[in-house]
Amino acid sequence: MINVIKEQKGNSLTVKMAGSIEESVNFEQIIGPSPGAGNELQVNTKEVPRINSVGVKAWIKYFQMVSGSGAKLKFIECSTAIVEQINLILNFTCGGEVESIYVPFTCTACKGELVGLFKTVDLKKMELQLPELKCTKCGGKATFDDIPEEYFAFLSR
């Protein structure tokens, strides 16, 4: 099951999804019709740990409809599962902008895993040289834990 929290601010609608995106997802039902031309739809997937192939099909169908209606699409706080799909599937963002993503880090001391939130504009400036983060469990040094050329592939499209 997936939960959605909606927040309308001016002409911008933010939808915060929580849960896995799979067979049972019905975006028309949980998000509603496209906000339409001149409006913005911000999609927050911070709490989406998984998306399967059926979920991907439903995702693309829905967000292409939103994009086609003239609404501005923005993806914010994309989870690592969503970033994988953005890299894998060329039209996953349906013409929308990816504003910020979660990046996986591993602590060099306790091997604990954590994620850091980065804006894509800042990542482009860093040229794949990510800063170290402080481990939330032991305070040790946490470093980026993936292949930069793969995890950030979509940035250079």
Catalog residues that contact Zn ion under the rule CB under 5 A: 107, 109-110, 112, 135, 137-138, 140
With respect to Zn ion, which residue has the nearer C-beta, 17 or 133? Answer: 133
In the complex, minimum distance from the CB of residue 126 to Zn ion, in angstroms, rounded to a whole number:
23
21, 55 Cβ separation under 8 angstroms: yes
Strand pairing partners for 8?
13
Helix and strand totals (H; E) in the chain = 5, 9
Angle at CA of residue 3, ends 43 and 78, nearest 5°: 30
Rounded to a whole number of angstroms, the minimum distance from the CB of residue 71 to Zn ion is 42
Q: Least CB distance from residue 145 to Zn ion, whole Å?
A: 12
Residue with Cβ nearer Zn ion (36 or 139):
139
Q: Which is nearer to Zn ion, 62 or 102 (CB)?
A: 102
| Residue 154 phi, psi dihedral angles, 5° rounding | -65, -25
- State the minimum distance, in angstroms, from the CB of residue 110 to Zn ion: 3
The single residue listed with the structure tokens 């399967």 is: 52
> Among residues 6 and 137, whose Cβ is nearest to Zn ion?
137
**Integer CA distances (angstroms), 94 to 36, 39, 73, 137, 147, in order:** 15, 16, 8, 37, 25
